Each structure stands twice: as structure tokens, then as C-alpha cells.
Amino acid sequence: MRKIVIIPFAMMIVLALFTIVVSGSRIAGRALMSLATPAPALAQDAGTAKAVFVVHCYDEGKTALETMPGVKRVDRGFRHFREINTVYYDPAVITIPDMEKALKKAGTYTETVRE
């Protein structure tokens, strides 16, 4: 009698876990794509460059960078399971070392991604 109850119960648990994993990865995939996909028009603007920084907290990084002169936009996202800030900026106004300094001052800088 116990086998009759345990086997269907175990199958229900396995099916539930499978459903959670599959639907969760689909949702996470969409969320990651929406966070990490840059706007093509801005990336192609004349005089706009792109820099990617690995940070401890992308919200703190965005706050530290978005008000700097020359920064046009800061996107948050993930790359290789790490938080990143993708920055679109005017290289005539601001440099990558300036942005690294601001991130270090905010206590969130890890590294600059070389693409």
C-alpha cells in the first residue's frame, strides 16, 4: 500500500520541480536579455562610445555614473553571472578611468570588460 502512495507523490514532486526550472529559466532568460540588450540607435550615434564595467551592485554603479558629464546612458545587466553596467558616453567629455574612479569611490567597482 505504501508503494502505491509514494510513487505517484514522488512523480508529482519531480514534475513540479521540472516545471519550475523550465519556466524559471525562460523568465530569467527574458529578464537577462531585456537588461543587457543595448539600444542600437544610441550605440551607433556619432561620438558615442560604450564601456562595460563589472560591479558589485549595478544599481549603485548606475547611480554613480548616470549624473557624470558626458555619460549618455547607463544600462544594468548580467554577464557570466556577474552584475554589469554598460555605459554609453561621449569620449570627448569623459574617459574610462574617470568612470572607474567614480565606481571605486562608490565602492562597487570590480573590473572593466575589454571587448
Q: pLDDT tens digits for the chain (115 residues)?
A: 555 656 677 777 777 766 776 555 444 444 444 455 555 555 557 789 999 999 999 999 999 999 999 999 999 999 999 999 999 999 999 999 999 999 999 999 999 998 7
Task: Note whether 91 and 46 are same-domain residues.
Answer: yes
Q: Are residues 102 and 114 in the same domain?
A: yes
Query: Are both 56 and 78 inside the same structural domain?
Result: yes
Residues 50 and 97 in one domain: yes
Give the residue numbers spanning the domain of 50.
39-115
The pLDDT, as a whole number, for residue 14 is 72
Cα(29)–Cα(52) distance, rounded to whole angstroms?
20
- What would the grid cell of residue 95 be? 574617459
**Identity of the residue numbered 49:** A
| 19 and 43 co-located in one domain | no
DSSP secondary structure letter of residue 114: P
Are residues 108 and 56 in contact, defined by beta-carbon separation less than 8 angstroms? yes
Q: Is the pTM of this model over 0.85?
A: no
Give me Rg for the CA atoms of the chain.
21
Grid cell locating 96: 574610462
Q: Would you mind telling me the total number of residues written for the chain in this entry?
A: 115
What's the total number of domains in the chain? Answer: 2
